[in-house]
Structure 1
Amino acid sequence: DENAIRGNWTRQLDFTLSCIGYAVGLGNLWRFPYLCMRNGGGAFLIPYFIFLFICGLPLFFLELSIGQFSSLSPLSVWKMSPLFKGIGWGMIIVSTIVTVYYNIIITWVLYFLAKSFTNQLPWATCDNWWNTDFCFDRTQNASDFNLTALFNVSEETNLTALASNVLELSAGIHELGGIRWQLLLCLFAAWAIVFLCLCKGVKSSGKVVYLTATAPYLLLTMLLVRGLLLPGAIDGILFYLKPDFNQLLKFKVWGEACLQIFYSLGPAWGGLITMASYNKFNNNCLRDSVIVCCACSGTSFYAGFVIFSVIGYMAHETGLPVSQVITSGPGLAFIAYPEAITKLPISPLWAILFFVMLLFLGLDSQFGTLETVTSGFVDEFPKLLGKWKTTFTGFVCLIEFIIGLVLVTRGGMYIFQILDWYAAAFSVMVIGLLECLVLSWVYGLERLFYDIEMMLGNRPSFIWKVLWGFVTPFILITILVFSSFQMGAPTYGDYEYPSWAVGIGWAVAMCSIIPIPGYMILAICREEGPLLKRVRNLLKPEPDWGPGPANKRAVYKWNPACQIPMKLAPEEDFENCC
């Protein structure tokens, strides 16, 4: 390994596949197709790809660059400007919270996957012991139901009955109830799988992704081919693609396109910095950024064909419009699509393939997010944890499993909705904005360009200065304002959360933002000297900042005064500013 202390990816392809697996998650499957359909069909691709290249790709390249240059995780990488180390803590906290509830989705996938190993899918009929008198088959006598009756809470489909049985929801978030043992077993299995894949860090996860990052594309293709052979499939795909250019006049459409780019690529979570930190110093991270961003967006678009071919078939069978069959979020993955699969020949096989695909998509994202947490602490406390990373990874998995027990109670779904609504939605945009501003205007674009040139051998194009310094921060501010106005209180069906639960949600959101000003205050108090001198010293890189490999660090030259605001630094500090 080039970095004898931390190690590197065994092969460059390990990193590329890990990044693709991290970026291509469940949201590509269950959110993008719905957004595309709702916001102008094919016309939605125009704002989507515009924001991909002026916001998503710049942030992706920025994080890969600083991670690869320093060979440090999101916490220690802020040696470049210690005053802002709270941003790194924010990333670690976000990733910690998300790994807790994201594994619950994998838990549900494992449960439905286990239920699929049967001659007849248990949600294919209403003859099961858990069904009530309100159960009906959507594809039988669908004309007897109007839209209100079809989706009324007093009605239940075959699959919602199974989901209700395993969840056994309580009356609300105030009533947690007991633990559902089926989900408990699946949760334990989910964390066991994650630990086994990460026990050797990137050395082990880098091997697993050869299966988990590539198999979903094979499975998607198999599902697409099967879907295209179904009656009504073409109608569903045409509904998905039909452009409505009038939608482009709505600010909301552009806002949702930008939000989808931001959340699907995963900047500001720390995962990209972490994975890039295990690269070799001269790896072409710009090439990797373009490949992964295009793969992520292409997968989202491709998944739309898979989803809408089957949704079109479902609409054909029920006699309902496609718009009344499609839904977004987990409901698409765990209700609508599996329900449509029951009408296919050899339906258990297709259900198994579908849930295996969801499992792989979920695991890949979980690998990168959890590695962010473990590498963050190991890099920050190398003497304490450096030799015990495998043990520490197991400890983190155990602690998060214990915390996750609350999510497999009867009231766990209500808590899941709160975490999913607040944990990352607002805070990661704040973190991403501050990260971009600090790297551009405090650490400095000139110094950043020098670092990248040292790695790649060529100076980046001037367009990156424009994007990092002005365009991308402006877009992040805009979508931050947009999402603030769009962000109401969470709901779950007809259940409305009490005000105290909403307050807890905002407290969760603030957990990753408060450390930013909090660490600033702490760092200033620890520093010695007059206030302005303390701030100036904390804005500069630490003495041991530089390239990860020792041979590269020996030739690294930097001026500690660069990009420090003029009013905080004496004039002589700027005489030889790079």
Structure 2
Amino acid sequence: MNGHFNYRGNNRNVFDESFSRNSENADESFTITGSRATLDRSDASLSKHATGYQTFSESNVTLDRHSHDASRDLSGDCLDRRSAEFDLAFTESEATLEDGEGGGIEGDDVEEELEDSESEVSLAFTNSSLAYTVSEVELVSGWLEGKTPLAIASGHSRQTTEVEAPPPSSVSQKLNYAEDENKERGNWSGRLDFVLSMLGYAVGLGNIWRFPYLCYRNGGGAFLFPYLLMLCVVGIPLFYLEVSLGQFCSKGAAKCWDFAPLFKGVGVAMIACSALISIYYNVIIAWSQFYFFASFTDKLPWAECDNSDWNTKDCSLNWPIVSCEDGVKMPNGTCYQDNEFHGVWNTSMFEKITGQKRVSPSEEYWTYNVLSLSSGLFKPGSPRWHLTLSLFLAWIVTFLCLLKGIKTTGKVVYFTALFPYVVLTILFFRGVTLGDGVGEGISFYIKPRFENLGNAKVWRDAANQIFYSLGPCWGGIITLSSYNRFHNNALRDTLIVGLGNSLTSLFGGFVIFSYLGHMAAKLNVDVEGVVKSGPGLAFIVYPEAVTQLPAPPFWALAFFFMLILLGLDSQFATVETVLTGILDQWPQHRDRKTLIILAICVILFLLGLPLVTEGGAYLVNLMDTYAGSWSLMVIGLTETLAISYVYGCDRFFQDMALMYGTQPYLWWKICWMVLCPLLIVFILIFAIVDYSPATYGDYTYTAGGELLGWLMVLASALWIPICALYKLIKEDEGKTFLQKLRLQTMPNKYWGPSLVKHRKLVDYVQDFVLDPEGDKKKLSYVNQAFAYSTTTLSDRLSMHTREKSVTTMSYNGDMLFTSKVSLETAV
């Protein structure tokens, strides 16, 4: 009996092969036990053809599949590896093909009734090119996986049934979230899990306390022009690049550089940068937690000047803001006129014009109670016990949310990412209805001052805010997107997150400046007199503003709860970046994930203890200035050059088209190859030329403080040249330096999609390795287990034979048990 199989599909080869039971048709190089293949339990012959057919004829063989992937690929000269699909035929047998305990159907379940057979065959399939010639075969559904077309043929006729594959453009619209696509790493449970996690990662504390101040300082509404320009040509393109990179290879920041191993240090630098940022970011969350718990009172502790524990004689409820531009400001804040001098050089007389310095109660509460701020960076003092407990609580929350992986954080973000918008909206409507000063505050925020656009510092601030807020080059984007399904629509998600992040910043500015305007009107000063940046805005100005409202504890609780949620979202992704980098590098320790998470949280908590001392605020500001700025620029520049010029934009575009079904727009290539690198270089050059020592309030960091800051930069950025040098030294194939460099800038065999069924689709790369882990798995391709059968296979094969053989398609000897007959392949 002859069977005829046709295979049709988009961009695939066509299989049109006949077979017979004559064992002489078997290729000599694929014979079993000598030159012929015979099953001892029956008189059947095992006929093996070079196209991958395997026939069990007239035998009583049970092929039992237990929790193994049935769509694994063959690797041999007989199959085109770029279109390597196998056809498994059971003819004239009493074989039962059973599904064990791990089978799963991916995609839309389709049931196909095959007629003209001696027994009913019900097949549930998802676009797999597995053809069965049917006689007395019972196929229990639930076995097939794949995304390529399926051809089914009847064993009693030459009729061929063809099922066309869906067009690539539609594949991302029909993703199945019922089960994980990647069993080993896991996937997001739903598309919203990823989008909200990314939105929570991008929208953080900087959107509330940093962007409004930068907007005001750099020209109000005019600042939106450089900001939006940087968003379109740097922020969103880099975001899209990293999402596509992580999604394509399903690996975190440390392991996604197999396309050019020389640049593995970029991933290590990302992880180091994320670790540094997570240390001080949780300290800011600890500050917010302390204020949140302190607000559970009838009277806010920073509302009056009547607390002897932290209030001084300088405290004033109606603190006037007096300019000292024409005078001399003394260390205690007193302002003197300097326009009257009498006597000789060593004698002068000053006229005291403002009296003692006046300080708001909220500022004294922050400085003397919360921080107990010392006089400088190198006078740290002792840890503040209340901040230490708050920091410990922040790390406990982080540990618990990361414990169950993305399945937990993907659900937590439904609350932590969305509820801040509820609070922000409530604060907005309350702010715009306060009355006096609201209009002036908002006008001060958005009124354009176009003359500022000629200042290069404005453009640098716009780019810095994009890196700080949107989060490229931290490693978090690559990490979160590595848990996507292969055909997820990344462009859609990129635009949602990028635009959502920027709109949140703009909206937050309206909220903040409505309160600042009202506060300025109450104090009878200009809005400029009450504006501060960073922690000063969140922990001094806004707490003071809520004291002017009815029911101030409620508004304080709402504000600080929002800050906690905004911080936790970003913290989850940042620590997940460190965790994923470790597990991807050493996957054998995945079963110890809980201990690794605990170790990470404990170590980072201990490293954060110096930041909750009396001098800790200076250290937090130093880390924010150096670790969260300079390193990101270096990483971003190296990343874009590596992908655009070393790996090549054209090749990366093909990878993206494989995932999304359509070619990306030319705009992305222009951004990645030209605009992004040039703008980052411009920002770096200007930052170096315009460099000045960092400051915190009136405190200017000493040379020792600057050295400490640059050591933080080197702690992450230095991994790039270190890893590159290590790779070149360890390269043993190249003889000369140029040969080694060439080999280390080429994709290795591990580069590509994580799953074999997706690697099969890479038909634009010659000699693309379909199963790079094959050596480790003993090339266990299809029939990984002939369990409970009378036939067993031996894995006593040389590596050469395993790589060449398409006869047995299985070498996993430990799964072949309860056998009476040993079937061995000749070496």
What TM bracket, shorter-length normalisation?
Answer: over 0.9
Deviations 1:87-113 (A, max 9, x none): 111001000111111110001000100
In the TM superposition, what whole-angstrom CA distance separates every residue of 1:357-380 from its partner, at most 9, and x where no partner exists?
Answer: 000111111111110000001001
> Relative contact order (C-alpha < 8 Å, sep 6+): which is higher?
1
Secondary structure at the counterpart of residue 323 of structure 1:
helix
**Residue of structure 2 equivalent to 1:36:** 215
Query: What does 1:153-552 correspond to in 2, within 5 Å?
Result: 155-163=358-366, 164-230=368-434, 231-383=436-588, 385-528=589-732, 529-530=734-735, 531-552=737-758
- Cα drift, residue 31 of structure 1: 1.1
Conservation of the 8 A alpha-carbon contact between 2:311 and 2:365? no
Q: Kindly provide the amino acid, as one letter, of the partner of residue 351 in structure 1.
A: A
Give, in whole Å, the separation in 1 of the partners of 2:458 and 2:618: 29
Aligned residues with identical type, % of pairs: 47
8 Å contact kept, 2:242–2:472 = yes
Task: State the Cα deviation string for residues 175-207 of structure 1 (Å, max 9, x = none).
Answer: 222111111110100101111111112111111
Aligned to 2:60: none
Larger-Rg structure: 2
Deviates more, 1:470-479 or 1:369-378: 470-479
Point out the more displaced range, 281-290 or 531-540.
531-540
Q: 1:379 to 1:182 in 2, by over 3 A?
A: same
Secondary structure (helix, strand or coil) at the match of 2:717 reads coil
Q: Structure 2 counterpart of 1:226, which letter?
A: R
Q: Deviation per CA, 1:306-347, whole angstroms, max 9, x where unpaired?
A: 000000001100011001111111100010011100111000
- Output the amino acid matched with 2:558: L
Offset at residue 558 of structure 1 (A): 5.2
8 Å Cα contact 2:441-2:515 kept in structure 1: yes
| 1:117 partnered with 2:305 | no
Aligned-partner Cα distance in 1 for 2:688–2:709: 14
The secondary structure found in structure 2 opposite 1:77 is: coil
What is the TM-score of this pair, normalised by structure 2?
0.66
The amino acid of 2:748's aligned partner reads E
Q: Equivalent residue of 2:258, what SS?
A: helix
**What SS is found at the alignment partner of 1:80?**
coil
Aligned mates of 1:517, 1:88 — CA distance in 2 = 12
Show the counterpart of 1:146: 322
Q: Which whole-Å CA distance do the structure 1 matches of 2:218 and 2:605 have between them?
A: 38
- What SS is found at the alignment partner of 2:533? coil
In 2, the alpha carbon distance for the partners of 1:420 and 1:308 equals: 24
Matched residue type, 1:152: G
- The one-letter amino acid of 2:616's match is G
Q: Cα 1:560–1:539, aligned 2, differ >3 Å: closer, same or farther?
A: farther
Question: Residue 101 of structure 2 aligns with which residue?
Answer: none
Matched AA of 2:666: F
Structure 2 Cα separation of the partners of residues 282 and 97 of structure 1: 33
1:108 matched to 2:311 = no
Question: Which whole-Å CA distance do the structure 2 matches of 1:557 and 1:81 have between them?
Answer: 20
Shift of 1:538: 0.7
Maintained 8 Å contact 1:282/1:456: yes
Provide the aligned C-alpha RMSD in A.
1.8
Other-structure match for 2:250: 71
SS at match of 2:663: coil
* Change in 2 beyond 3 A, CA 1:263/1:486: farther
CA–CA separation in structure 2 for the residues paired with 1:156 and 1:179: 25
Match of 1:575 in 2: none
Give the Å deviation of 1:561.
11
Structure 1 gap segments, 5+ residues each: 563-578
CA distance in 2, matches of 1:210, 1:223: 20
Residues 347, 535 of structure 1: CA spacing in aligned structure 2 closer, same or farther, 3 A cutoff? same
Instruction: Report if the CA contact (8 A) 2:201-2:571 is conserved.
Output: yes
Q: Partner of 1:573 in structure 2?
A: none
Q: 1:95 aligns with which of 274, 280, 293?
A: 274
Distance of aligned partners of 1:366 and 1:487 in 2 relative to their CA distance in 1, 3 Å threshold: farther
For residue 397 of structure 2, what is the amino acid of its counterpart? I
In the TM superposition, residue 466 of structure 1 has moved relative to its aligned partner by 1.1
Secondary structure of 1:10's counterpart equals coil
Question: Does the CA-based 8 Å contact 2:532-2:541 persist in structure 1?
Answer: yes
**Aligned partners of 2:420 and 2:565 also within 8 Å:** yes
Aligned residue identity for 2:333: N
The Cα offsets for residues 253-279 of structure 1, whole Å up to 9 and x where unpaired, read as 222222212221110110000000000
Conserved 8 A contact 1:281-1:548: no
User: In structure 1, what residue type is equivalent to 2:210?
Assistant: R
Equivalent residue letter for 2:654: Y
CA distance in 1, matches of 2:538, 2:218: 20
Corresponding residue of 1:3: 182
CA deviations over 1:229-285 (Å, ceiling 9, x no partner): 112111111111111222223222222222212221110110000000000000000
Secondary structure, in 3 states, of the residue corresponding to 2:750?
coil
Pair 1:175–1:256, CA change in 2 (3 A)? closer
Equivalent position amino acid for 2:584 in 1: D
SS state of the match for residue 652, structure 2? Answer: helix
- After TM superposition, the structure 1 stretch with the greater mean CA deviation from structure 2, 79-88 or 249-258, is 249-258
Cα displacement (A) at 1:10: 0.7
Residue number in structure 2 paired with 1:82 = 261
Cα distance in structure 2, aligned partners of 1:381 and 1:421? 32
Task: Give the TM-score, by structure 1 length.
Answer: 0.94
Is 1:128–2:334 an aligned residue pair? no
What displacement does 1:219 show? 0.4
* Number of equivalent positions: 558
8 Å Cα contact 2:252/2:482 also seen in 1: yes
CA distance in 2, matches of 1:497, 1:40: 28
Give 3-state SS (helix, strand or coil) of 1:79's partner. coil
Shift of 1:166: 2.7
Tell me, in whole angstroms, the C-alpha distance in 2 between the residues paired with 1:147 and 1:25. Answer: 34
Contact 1:36 1:45 in 2 (8 A): yes
TM superposition shift of 1:167? 1.7
| Separation (CA, whole Å) in 1 of partners of 2:232 and 2:299 | 46
Paired with 2:260 and 2:462, the residues of 1 have a C-alpha distance of 32
> 2: distance between equivalents of 1:415 and 1:260?
21
Instruction: Say which SS state the counterpart of residue 629 (structure 2) adopts.
Output: coil
Separation of aligned partners in 1, 2:262 and 2:552: 57
Distance in 2, Cα, partners of 1:560 & 1:161: 68
CA contact under 8 A between 1:540 and 1:561: conserved in structure 2?
A: no
What is the alpha-carbon distance in structure 1 between the residues aligned to residue 307 and residue 648 of structure 2? 64
Q: Could you tell me how far 1:560 is from its partner in structure 2?
A: 7.5
Q: CA deviation at 1:43?
A: 1.6
Mapped to 1, the partners of 2:292 and 2:401 lie a distance apart of: 20
Query: 3-state SS of the aligned residue for 1:185?
Result: helix
More helix, by proportion? 1
Task: Determine the structure 2 residue equivalent to 1:569.
Answer: none
Task: Please tell me whether the aligned partners of residues 130 and 162 of structure 1 are also in contact (alpha carbons under 8 angstroms).
Answer: no
Q: Deviation at 1:147? A: 3.8
